[in-house]
Amino acid sequence: MKNIIITLIIFLFGFNLTYSQTQSGSEKDKAELHKVLDTFMTSLKTKDTPASIAYFMTGQ
């Protein structure tokens, strides 16, 4: 449970960072952001959290 809370905090921080950069960005950037978010949420459900955090934070 503690890991999930830490993950959510990291996720929200990363999302706010990405979102503020994308707000004035193009539609392509927004589509990319949604793709990353989908990947992140899917990996949360599959319990592959450490890898997904690394993926999300580096934005690869």
Amino acid making up residue 4: I
Q: Which residue has the higher pLDDT, 42 or 21?
A: 42
Q: Flag whether the pTM goes above 0.85.
A: no
What residue ranges do the domains of the chain occupy? Answer: 2-58
Single out the residue of 55, 47, 42, 49 nearest to residue 14, CA to CA.
55
- Write out pLDDT tens, residues 34-55: 777 777 777 666 665 566 566 6
CA pair distance 56, 32, nearest whole angstrom: 12
CA pair distance 41, 11, nearest whole angstrom: 10
| pLDDT computed for residue 11 by the predictor | 72
Q: Which residue has the higher pLDDT, 48 or 12?
A: 12
Indicate if the pLDDT at residue 60 is higher than 60: no
Give the model's confidence band at 22: pLDDT under 50 very low, under 70 low, under 90 confident, else very high: low
